[in-house]
Amino acid sequence: MALDNSWFTEVHGKDGSAFSLKVTAKLLDEKTPYQHLEIYDTEDWGKLMVLDGCVMLTSRDNFFYHDMLAQPAMCWHPNPENVVIIGGGDCGSLREVLRHDGVKNAVQIEIDKAVTRAAEQYFPELCERNNDPRATLAFIDGVAWMKEQPDTSVDVMLIDSTDPVGAAEALFGPEFLQDVFRVLKPGGILAQQSESLFYHLPLVTGLRSTLLDAGFADCKTLPFPQAVYPSGWWSVTLARKDEKFGAIRECGLECEYYSKAVHQAAQVLPPFAAKVLKQ
């Protein structure tokens, strides 16, 4: 929603809060077959992408999210060669995955081609790896695609989804996560955006329970700052097949937010969350 012609505001009615950005122009307003896509220019945050009225990313702060969704999984895995991203239409997670030279194949499954086309136009810095020969972009339903994949064929799976409502709700459900478990190789790692520990702790608890019920041996939830998302504090939940999380590999990347030290520190949750998540 907009307060006036110069501000975009997302209201979080359930939590009695809102977040606003000062905008200077609307660059795109498109009803795709799946959702309402908007792109704005902002005064201080670069470009802003909005889906169905919810902020997805800005030029200024998306690095927090893309670093933390991709790099902990990639650096916890000893040799991630085959990677799949479900969602991630802005292609920032794909870019982060393909910074790893050892990756042989990275498949991105995004249902809405319009999101990727908008990212290529308005967020080209996120799409700089789209033409990498190791990358495959498929614009199909990720839940249906997953059902058709062979057992033990993927090293790392990233679920880069919107909030768990509508079509994205299935990506948090037991049937889909059981398919993820089946498709991952022994020792394979799933990383899934898991909302805010402050606003959505029951959702995180439910997701972790569903992952353990699906057969995963270990779960870790790592919080990180994200100014434009509800509460300003977001999280990624990781699960490992067949074994506990071990040493963090030194990946040799220079990221804007992620580092090995940040990765280690993020495992220490505040007491209110740690006692609930038992991490």
Task: Give 86's strand partners.
Answer: 109, 159
DSSP state of 221: E
Q: Which of 90, 112, 160, 179 is catalytic?
A: 160
Phi, psi of 256 (to 5 degrees): -75, -35
Element of type H or E holding 233: strand 233-240
Element of type H or E holding 236: strand 233-240
Residue among 98, 99, 129, 97 nearest 116 (CA): 129
Can you say whether the dihedral through the CA atoms of 197, 202, 203, 204 is positive or negative? positive
Query: 3-state class of 46 per DSSP?
Result: coil
Residue among 114, 116, 111 nearest 127 (CA): 116
Task: Give 218's strand partners.
Answer: 240
Q: Give catalytic status of residue 44 as yes or no.
A: no
Mark out the alpha helices in the chain (DSSP H runs). Answer: 62-76, 92-97, 113-122, 142-147, 174-183, 201-214, 260-266, 271-277
DSSP state of 100: S
**Ordered strands of the 218-225 beta sheet:** 135-138, 105-109, 82-87, 154-160, 184-193, 233-240, 218-225
CA distances from 192 to 114, 150, 227, 251 (A): 22, 21, 19, 20
Residues designated as active site? 160
